[in-house]
Amino acid sequence: MSVNDPIADMLTRMRNALMAGHQVVSVPSSKIKLAIARIMVEEGFVETFEEAADGVHKTLRMKLKYVGERRERRPVITGLKRVSSPGRRVYVNKGDIPWVRSGMGVAILSTPKGVMTGGRARKIGVGGEVICQVW
C-alpha cells in the first residue's frame, strides 16, 4: 500500500501499539525512520530497535518501553506529534527551536548536520526541519 507520509504512518503505528499495550511495533524501514528510532532509544522513549529483512523489504522493529507492574503498566511515551508534513514543511532557525513540554520531551529535527534532537541542534547552533515531537 502506498503511503503519502511514511513518518506520520510510523508515529501512528507506534501510538496505536502503545494504546493497545503491545510490546513490539513493526514499520517499513528507511534511513530517516532508523535515525528517528535511534534518537528515541538514546532519549529513553524506546527500549531497542532492529532492522530485519523480510525478503525484499526491510522492516524496522521497535520494542516499546513501559513503566510499572503488570496491572498499573503505563507507556513511557505519552504523546507523539508530527509537526512538518509533506504538504506543510516547518523550518526553524537555531533560535526558534521549540521546547517540548518545558524540556520533558524532545523535538526531532532534520538538519544539514543530520537528524538530531532540538537540544543538540541548539548546542551545535543549527536549525532545520522539525520532523516530530515526542513526550
- Closest by CA position to 100, among listed 121, 71, 75, 126: 121
Distance CA 105, CA 100 (A): 5
Domains of the chain: which residue ranges? 6-134
Query: Residue 39 — pLDDT band, cuts 50, 70, 90?
Result: very high
Q: Is the pLDDT of residue 2 over 80?
A: no
**pLDDT tens profile 48-83:** 999 999 888 999 999 999 999 988 999 999 999 999
Distance CA 105, CA 52 (A): 28
How much is the average pLDDT of 18-44?
Answer: 97
Of the chain, the percentage scoring pLDDT greater than 70 comes to 99
The residue type found at 32 is I
Q: Are 107 and 100 in contact (CB under 8 A)?
A: yes
CATH class of the 6-134 domain in this structure: alpha beta
For residue 95, what is the DSSP state?
Answer: G
Of the chain, the percentage scoring pLDDT greater than 90 comes to 93
Q: Which three cell numbers stand for residue 12?
A: 501512528
The residue type found at 72 is E
From residue 71, alpha-carbon distances to 18, 29, 55, 134 in Å are 15, 32, 38, 25
Q: What is the pLDDT of residue 54?
A: 81
**pLDDT tens profile 80-93:** 999 999 999 999 99
